[in-house]
Amino acid sequence: MNRRDFFNSISKSALACSAAGAIWPSLAETGMVSADPAYLEDLATTPAQVRNAIEHLTTLSPDRKAYLREFQKHQSSAQELNLNQYLAKMHDFENAHREDIFVPREQFQTLIASFKRLDRVQSLVGHGNFNVVSFDDVLRYGRNYSAVGVFEAAEVNFIASVFDADALGYGFFGNRVVDKLTSVVSRRDRVKVGSTGHYLFRGEAEELYRKLQSDLSGKVVLTSGIRNIVKQTHLFLAKTIQSEGNLSRASRSLAPPGHSFHGIGDFDVGKIGFGSRNFTEQFAKTEEFSRLVELGYINMRYPEDNLLGVRYEPWHIKVT
pLDDT band (50, 70, 90) for residue 29:
very low
Instruction: Provide the β-strand partners of residue 317.
Output: 267
Per-residue pLDDT, 293: 79
pLDDT band (50, 70, 90) for residue 290:
confident
The chain-wide mean pLDDT, for the chain, equals 77
Domains of the chain (ranges plus CATH)? Answer: 3-20+45-74+83-317 (3.30.1380.10)
User: Which residues contact residue 263 at a Cβ distance below 8 angstroms, ignoring those fewer than 6 apart?
Assistant: 177, 178, 183, 226, 227, 228, 229, 232
CB-CB contact of 181 with 160 (8 Å): yes
Which parts of the chain fold into alpha helices (H)? 3-20, 27-30, 47-54, 64-73, 83-91, 108-125, 127-130, 135-144, 153-164, 204-215, 229-242, 247-253, 281-284, 287-294
Q: Is the pLDDT of residue 216 over 70?
A: yes
pLDDT band (50, 70, 90) for residue 89:
confident
Per-residue pLDDT, 312: 56
pLDDT tens for each residue of 117-139: 999 999 999 989 999 999 999 99
Per-residue pLDDT, 77: 39
Q: Is the pLDDT of residue 189 over 50?
A: yes
Q: Residue 230 corresponds to which amino acid? A: V
pTM of the model: 0.73
Rounded mean pLDDT, 204-224: 93
